[in-house]
Amino acid sequence: MPSSRTIDPVRGRKFRWRWANGPIANMAQEHIFHANGSFEWRVLDGPDEGRSAHELRYTVLPVAEDVYLVSYRTRSGQTLTAALNFRTRQLAAVTTGQDTWYPAQGTFEVFD
């Protein structure tokens, strides 16, 4: 039987996402995904450093071996959908809003 980490390697963990390109290139964000399905995010550097929020819900879907899709909509109306490759620690995402669409790539670290 698979472990809960295999089914959902995001829930109950803290991540640091570092963006290599896109509108937030060379910036880092922290994401904490809580066991109850809510999460917190915080900008760690750049012009929005310190900006943060607690959001109500996210979803995680398996895509392939060691690859999971994480998606959430913020209260401000932005939707982020990110593919996390746990083998390579690579991250690819698209952020959308009412009139915006931004692809971005980067890397991530996991802190248990």
- 12 vs 39, 64, 111, CA distance in Å? 9, 21, 10
What average pLDDT is seen over the chain?
Answer: 92
Residue spans of the domains in the chain: they are 11-111
Q: Look up the CATH architecture of domain 11-111.
A: Beta Barrel (2.40)
- The pLDDT value recorded for residue 2 is 41
pLDDT tens by residue, 26-79: 999 999 999 999 999 999 998 899 999 999 999 999 999 999 999 999 998 999
pLDDT of 7 above 90: no
Mean pLDDT of the region 88-106: 95
Mean pLDDT of the region 77-89: 96
Cα within 13 Å of Cα(106), Cβ side: 22
Beta bridge partners of 18: 28, 107
- The pLDDT value recorded for residue 5 is 52
The token pair at 11 is 């829930």
